[in-house]
Amino acid sequence: MPRPDVLDSLVSLAKRRGFIFQSSEIYGGTGSVWDYGPLGVELKNNVKQRWWHAMVRERDDVEGLDAAILMHPRVWEASGHVAGFSDPLVDCKACKARFRADKLTDVACPRKPSKKPGEHTDCQLTEPRQFNLMFKTFMGPVEDSAAVVYLRPETAQGIFVNFLNVQQATRQKVPFGIAQIGKAFRNEITPGNFTFRTREFEQMEMQFFVEPGTDMEHFERWKQARLDWHLGLGLDRDRLEFHQHTEKELAHYARAAFDINFDFGGSLGFQEIEGVHNRSDFDLRQHQEFSSKKLEYVDQVQNKRYLPYVLETSVGADRVTLAILVNALREEAVPGEQEGRTVMGFHPALAPIKAGIFPLTKKDGQPEMADKLAAALRKKFTVFYDEAGAIGRRYRRQDEAGTPFGITIDGDSTKNDDVTIRFRDDMGQIRVSTSKVAEVLGAYLDADHARAESTRVG
Ligand code: ATP
């Protein structure tokens, strides 16, 4: 049975709670561009940091890079993007809408949303024609063809052109990788489904350079490592699957390619969140030819030189953040209460706010004690202080923000110098002395469990 479509409720929760806003909303919005609000920027930063940790900091065979968005225009000729980075575009002469010919099943007919484009009797689709997805602009004050530059449609090319710079600067030996996180731009024909397909997005890409002949064994290892990373984010196992590219889908230079797909529910269903590709030596060979600069690796041990093969892992920071939001959203009944609750059950490490701090009343020294505790915890964790409204409502507000821990200061706290920690997922509570709160939260976060349950620690 397909999982329910939660995108509409997510869009309204995201706006209401400050995860994601439509770009330039007061002007009617910009086509498929989104802004991350206070909770969203923390969530997405946590995703990016987790990736950077796993891919760069925790390894000694991957180096970091931050290449510029604007590159020499020849880069995009060498990479094949000028000639071939296009999607098939069809127009509907009846309603004037435009669609990607290979993704007609992902969108609705504007005249009859229950049908797909081409299925309604009025539809008059043209033959597909190729549409280049790169955004063009001009470098310098003169707007002529010699000044054309592109906004990069992927971060990978910044890595390829810096391959020898990084190798020589770090004295890494093949096999080794280069990783970077950065913005990419694609003039998508049919963007949509919230932040799933946008025209400006962030990629987290890693290119791993290996000796030809050893590529498939590295490929298998990276494929598994990347799936494990997604599982470590708390994405449900049965919402993740590999999709192997068919002969038709496979780029001409690629030796193998798998997508990691996530089930977004509803009609979107399983869709790519990451690609793991064996790109052979295509990219380095192209850049070597177009730049006339040797890009070979000199293997001093084996006394030979060669162009390494490249294994690429490419994941969208926004798309995986959307998967995390979809995976986290739960509407559930609360035993003994009439109203249910909405919970964003984020992995605690990803949660934008780690703890809510609530004095039970606004008197008897409770706000002062809570304020002091909040200030101390802020040095290590993102915390949110809230003294407004009934305690149940304050818990609910933090459940919706995905805050894993709620710390309550009550009448006994001021006497005994202790507090209650309430857990978002099982709503269990433990009593902890004030001086130990940071340690207990730290222990939960270090344990890196995908859920916050009161039985685990304490
Ligand atoms: P698709 O088939 O969905 O257009 P793709 O195969 O062109 O994607 P890649 O070029 O492999 O995608 O990009 C790698 C990753 O970058 C994707 O798995 C996705 O997470 C992200 N990505 C690509 N295009 C977009 C976009 N328009 N909006 C958001 N994320 C994107």
CA distance 245 to 250: 6
**Whether the CB of 152 sits within 6 Å of ligand 1:** no
pLDDT in tens, 205-230: 999 999 999 999 999 999 999 999 99
**Whether the CB of 211 sits within 6 Å of ligand 1:** no
**Whether the CB of 314 sits within 6 Å of ligand 1:** yes
Structural contact between residues 356 and 406, judged by C-beta atoms closer than 8 angstroms: yes
Rounded mean pLDDT, 68-92 = 94
Strands 304-306 and 62-64: unpaired
**Whether the CB of 272 sits within 6 Å of ligand 1:** yes
Q: What percent of the chain has pLDDT over 90?
A: 85
Residue 30 confidence (pLDDT):
86
> What is the 434 CA–ligand 1 centroid distance (Å)?
47
Element (H, E) at 429: strand 429-433
Distance of CA 188 to the CA centre of its chain: 18
Output the residue whose Cα is nearest ligand 1's atom 21: 316
User: What is the SS3 assignment for 166-208?
Assistant: HHHHHCCCCCEEEEEEEEEECCCCCCECCCCECCEEEEEEEEE
CA distance 262 to 272: 6
CA distance 434 to 410: 12
**Whether the CB of 200 sits within 6 Å of ligand 1:** no
CB atoms under 10 Å from CB of 198, counted, come to 23
Rounded mean pLDDT, 41-48 = 98
CA distance 198 to 33: 6
Strands 148-151 and 176-185: unpaired
pLDDT band at 458 (very low <50, low <70, confident <90, very high): very low
Lowest model confidence (mean pLDDT) among 51-65, 103-117, 433-447: 103-117
Rounded mean pLDDT, 401-423 = 97
Residue 163 confidence (pLDDT):
97
> Which residue is listed with tokens 């946008």?
198
Rounded mean pLDDT, 322-342 = 93
Residue 143 confidence (pLDDT):
86
Q: Which atom number of ligand 1 is nearest to the Cα of residue 320?
A: 20
DSSP string, 108-134: --SS-TTS-TTTSTT--BPPPEEEE--
Q: Which atom number of ligand 1 is nearest to the Cα of residue 186?
A: 27
Residue 138 confidence (pLDDT):
94
pTM of the model: 0.94
> What is the 106 CA–ligand 1 centroid distance (Å)?
15
β-strand partners of 130 = 88
Pocket residue to mutate for ligand 1, from 34, 272, 276, most atoms within 8 A of Cβ:
272
CA distance 174 to 189: 39
The whole-chain average pLDDT of the chain stands at 95
**Whether the CB of 274 sits within 6 Å of ligand 1:** yes
CA distance 90 to 99: 5
pLDDT band at 347 (very low <50, low <70, confident <90, very high): very high
